[in-house]
Structure 1
């Protein structure tokens, strides 16, 4: 398994960006002929490209299942485009990052082999970009998703308001908040604009002690009302890494990836002398 840190100049963000990539290249089964299925994995607010590797066992599980995992940084910007700031995070995730990583690593170009997932802010980003770029992503997984645009539209400024909920901050991220509903940043509007057959398969999970549980249940009910195929789960836990560590494993069990094949690693050493 290779854990690779990559720096490159993004044309969509107009600066050097850093990503982590898990590439399971060191199995002993001979030269690989098939290209890797790929999960684009988005972090939550306050995080960066290191979060998933530091907070979960994704590196181990990706290795076991021959899954490539690409982890970019979203810089607290909810993975959306903003014409005012000239930051195009949605285009970065849905177009540029795909092109760059496919050119760099042996990744499958097939929609059915290309997945997007995330937690909290990244769950929102996975849903909106997975739907917006539905021709690229065949599967979407969203954990503890920050599905809060109804709250964002009504946001106010004030000294007692957390900065990420201030209207001034949200405007700097999303642009004109009065135009948020119905836009390509609206996870419900994106569903309504697609034929059911074009919607990627969706998995959602949220902790029963998570403050975002109501919003996740609301979107679950919305998807069911629109006859969208959905796998939805809840379990004990809050907005925390213990929950996300458990449920990213559930995501991998849900995705159409290879059966477990541990291969040679420091955590799986063959000790049977009869095979020596």
Structure 2
């Protein structure tokens, strides 16, 4: 565990004068057979991307009411990470309020299947990627923070690294918020859906070495208490992880700063894991 008092104050991201970041940004259309529709994603490839070298991929999820363009619009500097760490970043469409579920209430909402199977397979088929879990990470903000942990916990065969920023890691305290009841059914009628699909109740899926795990939340965030609870449960279960607690709210300023730490963490683990394959 790392407890940081102020995000952004200890990590130097100063770029050398004259350095030009030239990562390429594309918007691609993919097809979901599960939902029978085309879905967009922003794909960022590094400046020196080629068809000769396989590179790892970070899937970066948006929050409630957002879309695939949120990250590149709000934090355009994410392109620098693709160049700095020589990796791809994929920002998929997660719908307005899917919570990245295969919904038990809405047959046409199958974002778990889409993100963790269909999109991963499409990216691997169209780009020169590391085509196994050692070359895949997933993180996101708010609804996307929940989604990243939810998908990685359930699909340990797909992802080896996971993160979350201000994630809704326990849905149960918020039965009337953010469209969750639309995709899970109301808590009053279907409490079992809320219980089994809250990340905090899914830690039994992890073993100590199953997943490199990092998550952050600001102390002024309405999701702060549930993130602290997840941290304490992981400690109790002896699951290694990095938890970043810092001043801040549910804001893009916090997420932009938190992403610095998460991308550094992801890059470190990619290097460690992929080195063993060489």
Aligned-pair distance for 1:34?
2.7
Confirm or deny: 8 A CA contact 2:41 2:92 kept in the other structure.
yes
Q: Is 1:9 aligned to residue 9 of structure 2?
A: no
The runs of 5 or more residues in structure 1 that have no matched partner are: 157-161, 260-276
Q: Is 1:233 aligned to residue 253 of structure 2?
A: no
Confirm or deny: 8 A CA contact 1:171 1:177 kept in the other structure.
no
Partner of 2:84: 64
Partner of 1:208: 219
Confirm or deny: 8 A CA contact 1:123 1:141 kept in the other structure.
yes
SS of 1:150's equivalent in the other structure is coil
SS of 1:248's equivalent in the other structure is helix
**Of 174, 177, 180, which aligns to 2:184?**
174
The runs of 5 or more residues in structure 2 that have no matched partner are: 1-22, 272-278
Confirm or deny: 8 A CA contact 2:207 2:239 kept in the other structure.
no
Aligned-pair distance for 1:189?
3.3
Confirm or deny: 8 A CA contact 2:99 2:180 kept in the other structure.
no
CA separation of 1:256 and 1:170: change in aligned 2, threshold 3 A: closer
Partner of 2:99: 78
Q: RMSD value over aligned CA atoms?
A: 2.0
Aligned-pair distance for 1:84?
3.3
Aligned-pair distance for 1:60?
1.6
Give the ranges of 4+ consecutive aligned residues of structure 1 lying more than 6 Å apart after TM superposition.
none
**Equivalences, count:** 242
TM-score, structure 2 normalization: 0.81
Aligned-pair distance for 1:177?
3.1
Larger Rg: 1
Aligned-pair distance for 1:190?
2.3
SS of 2:65's equivalent in the other structure is coil
